[in-house]
Structure 1
Amino acid sequence: MTAGQHSVTIRTVGRDLEISNGLVLIRLVLCDGGYAQEFWAANSRGQYQLLLSSIHKNLIPSSEHRALTSPMISGDREHLFAVCRESLRMVYSDVQILRCDDTSACVRMTGSAQGHSLKSDVTVEAGNSMVRVEVEDKLPGGVLGPVLEYLMSSYAFLPDGRTFAASEEPDFTWAPNIRPTNDAIIGDSAFHSPAVIVQHGRLAAALIPDSSETDRARPMPMALDLDLTNGLLFAPLLSYGYCGYERTDQGKYFRHDITMSRRLPTSIIRYGYSIMLSATAKRGSLYKDVARFLWSKHSEPGPVVYAKSRILSPESLISADSHAACGLYAEGIRTGNRELIERAREIRDAILSSPQNSGLFPTRFDPAREQGCCVNADNGFYSTVECSTQLYWLLKLHALFEPDARIVSFARRYADHLIESKLRSGAIPSWYTEDLIPISALRSSAQTAASALFLAELAKVTELKMYLRAAEQSAKFILNEIVPKRLFVDHTCLSSDGMLSLECADPHTGMRTMSAQAMLWIAQLCAQLYSLTGTHPYLEDGLDVMDLLCLSQAMTDKPWDSSTSRFGLCSRGNIGAQLDAELSAEFARCAMYYGALSGEREYFERGVAALNAAMSVDQTAESHARIAADAAVAQSQFGSIYAHMSAKWAIETDGFRVTNIDFGKGSISLDISASSTSIREGRIVFGGLKGSSYKVIINGEAGTFTRADLESGISIPVFPPPDQGALFQVS
């Protein structure tokens, strides 16, 4: 079947209907008394290949045409949803064309089943590989109202029209949460960047819920499902719709059974979703397009106001945490509170006074004994992740606020141990005994990236090649052994006995346990190495990981679930989907950095949204201090306004407003105002510069600056809101 032009066309073949736009083809095929839906995509030769099909009897072995049994509750059925002859019948018995022109076409399928009156609108637009589907159900109900167990749209992934062999698996799968049991689903509490994705070779499909439609008036919970071992056919099933659920296993997973049926307050329910199709996707890459689509649909970052962070008191922090110490120092400078700065110095000194054992040192602080202690006092474990993190932030404090030669000397002794003891593969063990014997748990894991990031930071501070070479050796292990297999595991994925909470891949989603923190370390490492070496593959590999990480960022608020609702925050991983403000603040500066390095505005916007959200969440004093540290690093790097010259965009990051911007050859003109009269100073940082000097015009006043001046940032006095006139003048 060959694709034609990219204008939208509809044609009938007997009683079948076809909609195409040169990129995708939707076939509504009459079989078994109703219409099956087939979704095709054009390959590089212009030929259509089948990717998805709604479920019908011809796809399922006759042995699976089972009779309905009752009750069907958790543990009594081999797969999630009840299957009987009635549920396999094609419910859509009629098709009509609602609209068709050169730009778009929409068809409506209608039908009934078990008293339900259903209709589904399918829309295709010119030049778009997305298909929009909207479903409406008018439910039967008595005096007390209708009762519903689930209403879900399901599609089988059939690459080029075939099912999978018994031992065959797709090349790539993605879901917001793993679901390792037969009765599990993915509840909408995990809908941060909701999508399920399947890819095999260059053939890929994604089902993306339009959760914004149902967030306001949600008559019952919604759920996604991705099931490779569904008990119906040898093909992954992608499903979305209404489905009751409850959290299980301490909130890690979501399960469904018939007892979770709901009596609804309305007899008409609706939901919508988009289907992304591609027959030309680079291997394992459709997730990137999904991340772009979700951001374009939901983005609303708004400017960061760094002063929103909570006012800290020096007495509120007792732990020796260098990350928090940086935040205290930054807040002390911002608020003029010398006590905060002194407390930050005390924390720094406490860490530097820790006894080093061949460079390793205790990383937990015992307030009763006023000294450091090991990660596991009984076994004397040293944690390289914690040692590396402590020293990474001490180096930040050294570089940003107060140079201290003791920090560099302490860090170099530890770095020398990492170099001497790292494995031949480049991996760095996560734990050592008191006798400096590496522990087996996570001996060769993604946590290597945390120590490699420290080594790269030390290389930046000292300009010594030996530390850069060591960081690159460990990065080679990460990029060759961890990233391709998506082994993004860290200590948070371990159970109390030191074992992985899920040893193998989830058989239903095909995914392993994944930690967002592990992905973040890797993304930060790649960005730092690209900045230090200019080696472009580091940027490409980092962006690959960053795009996966973007799928952990919340794209909408959830009015019905304030505990899991905050636009811009990131979740900790694919178990439980719990949002984390501290992680989000680290993600923020990393995303902003990638925006600056790549020129892609979206990453910078994501970072701004994440930092805004992190700074507005009520947290402990330690968490607020760490978030303040990330905000300080971001402000140091990107100022109050960040402008990317080659990509031609500018984004406000601290209470300023760019009301007009014009990029010329070797020049930039901006109209800027302050959003509040309380803002006293600001700084514009420029990136994407290729020339040696540039003309900068701000509110009509011009000045010429060197590239170095612009990259470090030029200071600007405060501007009043637009109705108060301009005060800025460049000398």
Structure 2
Amino acid sequence: MSNSIYDIITTRMYLKVFRILVIVFLIPYTLLAQQKSDIPSGLKRFVASVSASKIGEAVAEIDFKRLSKDLYYGRVRWNLSASVQQNAVEVTVIPAFQPNFHWAPHLTPTDNHIIPQHVFRAPALIVADNSYTFSLIPDLDLIKKNSLPWMMDLNARDNRLMLGLGKSKITDHVLYEREIGMTIPSGEMVIGFYLLVSDKAAAIHNPFHRTINFMWTQWGEPLYKVGEPLHQKSMEPYVKHTYEWAFKNWRDAVWQEFDLNGKRVGAPVFIVNTTQSPNYPGQVNEREFRSIWNQAWFNSLRSAQGLYRYALRTHNDTLKQYALMTKELALAFPQTNGLFKSVIAVEMEQVEIDGKKVNRSKSWDTRYFGNSNRNPYTWDARLSPYHIADMSFTAYWMLVWYNELEQDHRLLSYAKNYADALIQLQDAEGFFPAWMNLETLQPMEHLQQSPETSVSVTFLSAMYKATGDVRYLQAAERAMKAVITKIIPQGQWEDFETYWSCSRVGSDKWVGKKVARNNMFKQNTFCIYWTAEALLELYKLTRKKEYLRWGQRTLDELLMAQAIWQPPFIAIRSLGGFGVMNADAEWNDSRQSLFAGLIIEYGKVQKNKQYIQRGLAALRASFTMMYTPLNPSTMKQWQARWPFFGEKDYGFMMENYGHDGVTNDAGLGIGEFTIYDWGNGAAAEAYNRLVDKYGRRFVEEN
């Protein structure tokens, strides 16, 4: 017998023995694992196993209940005879397929990172491939009963989802890592979760829709129907507080007025802080340079439209004149080849008073034009480059003013000059760049192909509607195709705020790349909103169902950042409020006032009552951070943080809550400044615009 034949026979004999060993030894362990996980037959295509760690020596009992065809409830129980010191408790869910799509509310770039309950606004972990999708949703009712902190994790590399208990600490702004030192009390400990599964093509295309629908029905709608998140139904008193605060009680600090090009112009200042309160006992110490912004965040032209609408409704000519001065200021920004800057500011100085140095602004005689300093290149507004999103957003609001308030043809002309320049900047794939060099007017390196393009789609759609010039519609549709193809399917929701505002984690290594462990980009809600808005605008113009289909998917992803419950660890009313991104920690961020109208409009177009409720909840949440007796729980937090506040401060409103990632019921989580154009003034604008569009009865009684 040759050596080669001998080798073949020997190899075959070893393989046969190996197969026998597999049958004898491995199959019983597989059966045991299945029995331990107790996976129902209807779940086995989706979930391979569910396991749980011990608590001390106590072994978990795991059981499932089928609630409907595609919905299951999992319960994990331990019985402890004594309290246990243990750093973490984990329930691990392993998918039965290899997902190519993953979604989680927060990034966990290493095994030591977790998703803490602080960011559980609409908590879920979602996975999908081309055939299956499922969502793991914590039982929020159990979280309300449990004094221990809950957590989640999504490990795409190991195909593992986790829900459990454990403390956390903040190591970046804002990511969370595991912390030691948890004590688990004696008695029964229960972790519960829902599994929402599907093999339908529609659910795989849009893995968010059934998840947001379930969570709103389960937790959000019952709260909405009893009046959350405000303590009273009418928002009109909040709007009155806003304008009395800005133009009466805090007028000296807020309102800026000066002559420019022979015209009297003015607008509320970019930012004020608590040291500028009429009740503050010390010296004013300005937080940032005195300035007025017309950009994609803080936009005085947008806020002025709310003031104009309110002035007409209340027959207040003084407020109307304030609004008109802000319009004049926007029109006074010089254009260079159609492009224009977004900021007008003054010089700053430090002065010493009673031995203490404080920041003060010089007069408007030192004014200069600049751009937003939230960018990758410089913190100096003078040197900051042109930002396309800022210009498109401002030009869009010029068209809103022109179409809805007064047909001042200067607004249309200004916007057209910019639109004609903008369409020349579109690249071969359809994208618009993010930043343009001040000197060369050439695109700069960052975000050359990003969802910031969607802002320009909305603007160009409005230009086509105003002028009938088909060039604008053609450019808008080319841009939208690029965003649909490259951005939406993989969730590449990167914009200026994602990396170059307060949450700069990842700006050195994540831009344009997924966080490998999560198979997700660092994502911001701003550009998700812009894209959902652009898709709806194009659908209304063209009636192409593709735009509505992708628009609803994008909107549903945005709604994963909207709070659908009232957590016991959040001291202010939270229903309807929005978070910012998957690496930040805010609740009730001011962007919700911008989002509200779009969500309602999708509800109208889709005849979807839930969207309408969510949009109105977002609008109401826009006023929950205001210092006023109308918000007793919030007012208590303000007084704990700033005890000198009084009646003249009614209307002061921080842009969000829990910005640094931690809160308590003694003022922690309350900030120290108000941005009128990204706070009370923005909320008032949204309310006034929606009242004009739908009527006060719809807005306040629906």
Same fold (TM over 0.5): yes
1:55-454 correspondence to structure 2 within 5 Å = 55=51, 114-116=56-58, 118-125=60-67, 127-141=68-82, 145-159=83-97, 170-215=99-144, 217-230=145-158, 236-250=159-173, 252-257=174-179, 260-264=180-184, 267-282=187-202, 283-300=204-221, 301-302=224-225, 305-307=234-236, 308-309=238-239, 310-312=241-243, 313-314=246-247, 315=251, 316=254, 317-318=268-269, 319-320=292-293, 321-367=300-346, 368=364, 369-375=366-372, 377-379=381-383, 381-434=385-438, 435-454=440-459
Partners of 1:491 and 1:397 in 2: how far apart? Answer: 26
Q: Which residue of 2 aligns with 1:479?
A: 484
- 1:178–1:422: structure 2 CA closer, same or farther, 3 Å change rule? same
AA partner of residue 197 (structure 2): L
Partners of 2:46 and 2:399 in 1: how far apart? Answer: 54
Partners of 1:476 and 1:281 in 2: how far apart? Answer: 21
Work out the percentage of aligned pairs sharing the same amino acid: 23
Confirm whether residue 492 of structure 1 aligns to residue 505 of structure 2. no
Q: Which residue of 2 aligns with 1:558?
A: 567
SS at match of 2:459: helix
Partners of 2:34 and 2:386 in 1: how far apart? Answer: 67
Task: Give 1:325 shift.
Answer: 1.4
Post-superposition CA distance 1:147-171 (Å, at most 9, x none) = 2322221111122xxxx5xxxxx22
Partners of 2:534 and 2:546 in 1: how far apart? Answer: 12
Determine if contact 1:41/1:277 at 8 Å carries over to the other structure: no
Determine if contact 1:41/1:279 at 8 Å carries over to the other structure: no
Partners of 2:415 and 2:194 in 1: how far apart? Answer: 50
AA partner of residue 464 (structure 1): D
Q: TM-score, normalised by structure 2?
A: 0.72
AA partner of residue 64 (structure 2): V
Determine if contact 2:169/2:177 at 8 Å carries over to the other structure: yes
Post-superposition CA distance 1:96-140 (Å, at most 9, x none) = xxxxxxxxxxxxxxxxx7432644442123x43111122332224
Q: Which residue of 2 aligns with 1:525?
A: 534
- 1:590–1:239: structure 2 CA closer, same or farther, 3 Å change rule? same
Q: Which residue of 2 aligns with 1:54?
A: 50
- 1:50–1:432: structure 2 CA closer, same or farther, 3 Å change rule? closer
The structure 1 residue matched to 2:617, chosen from 609, 621, 624, is: 609
Determine if contact 2:432/2:453 at 8 Å carries over to the other structure: yes
Q: Which residue of 2 aligns with 1:595?
A: 603
- 1:554–1:428: structure 2 CA closer, same or farther, 3 Å change rule? same
Partners of 1:281 and 1:154 in 2: how far apart? Answer: 27
SS at match of 2:36: strand
Partners of 1:288 and 1:508 in 2: how far apart? Answer: 25
Q: How many residues align?
A: 537
SS at match of 1:372: strand
Moved more, 407-416 or 386-395: 386-395
The structure 1 residue matched to 2:692, chosen from 607, 630, 636, is: 636
Determine if contact 1:39/1:52 at 8 Å carries over to the other structure: no
Extract structure 1 runs of 4+ deviating beyond 6 A.
Answer: none
- 1:229–1:473: structure 2 CA closer, same or farther, 3 Å change rule? closer
Q: Which residue of 1 aligns with 2:683?
A: 627
Task: Give 1:281 shift.
Answer: 4.5
Partners of 2:368 and 2:319 in 1: how far apart? Answer: 20
Partners of 1:440 and 1:342 in 2: how far apart? Answer: 42
Determine if contact 1:117/1:137 at 8 Å carries over to the other structure: yes
Determine if contact 1:204/1:281 at 8 Å carries over to the other structure: no
- 1:590–1:266: structure 2 CA closer, same or farther, 3 Å change rule? farther
Task: Give 1:484 shift.
Answer: 2.1
Determine if contact 1:363/1:386 at 8 Å carries over to the other structure: yes
Partners of 1:335 and 1:271 in 2: how far apart? Answer: 53
Q: Which residue of 2 aligns with 1:654?
A: 700
Moved more, 401-410 or 333-342: 333-342
SS at match of 1:184: coil
Task: Give 1:578 shift.
Answer: 2.1
**Consecutive unaligned residues in structure 2, runs of 5 or more:** 1-28, 228-232, 255-267, 270-291, 294-299, 347-363, 373-379, 627-652, 654-673
Confirm whether residue 469 of structure 1 aligns to residue 481 of structure 2. no
- 1:425–1:30: structure 2 CA closer, same or farther, 3 Å change rule? closer
SS at match of 1:31: helix
Q: Which residue of 2 aligns with 1:541?
A: 550
Task: Give 1:551 shift.
Answer: 0.7
Determine if contact 1:382/1:431 at 8 Å carries over to the other structure: yes
Task: Give 1:299 shift.
Answer: 2.2
Q: Which residue of 2 aligns with 1:69?
A: none
Task: Give 1:40 shift.
Answer: 4.6
SS at match of 1:229: coil
Task: Give 1:595 shift.
Answer: 0.7
Q: Which residue of 2 aligns with 1:71?
A: none
Between Structure 1 and Structure 2, the one with more strand by share is 1
SS at match of 2:597: helix
Between Structure 1 and Structure 2, the one with more helix by share is 2
Partners of 2:312 and 2:48 in 1: how far apart? Answer: 58
Determine if contact 2:149/2:166 at 8 Å carries over to the other structure: yes
Determine if contact 1:354/1:371 at 8 Å carries over to the other structure: no
Determine if contact 2:46/2:133 at 8 Å carries over to the other structure: no
Partners of 1:380 and 1:493 in 2: how far apart? Answer: 17
Partners of 1:50 and 1:566 in 2: how far apart? Answer: 33
Partners of 1:285 and 1:524 in 2: how far apart? Answer: 17
SS at match of 1:653: helix
Q: Which residue of 2 aligns with 1:36?
A: 37
Q: Which residue of 1 aligns with 2:465?
A: 460
Moved more, 385-394 or 571-580: 571-580
AA partner of residue 299 (structure 1): G
Partners of 1:586 and 1:50 in 2: how far apart? Answer: 38
Partners of 1:418 and 1:583 in 2: how far apart? Answer: 26
Moved more, 590-599 or 217-226: 217-226
Post-superposition CA distance 1:264-312 (Å, at most 9, x none) = 4554332321112223344343322111111111123357634133331
- 1:40–1:514: structure 2 CA closer, same or farther, 3 Å change rule? farther
Over the aligned positions, Cα root-mean-square deviation in angstroms equals 2.6
**Consecutive unaligned residues in structure 1, runs of 5 or more:** 1-27, 43-47, 57-86, 92-112, 165-169, 231-235, 642-651, 658-731
SS at match of 1:245: strand
- 1:499–1:439: structure 2 CA closer, same or farther, 3 Å change rule? farther
Task: Give 1:186 shift.
Answer: 0.6
SS at match of 2:464: helix
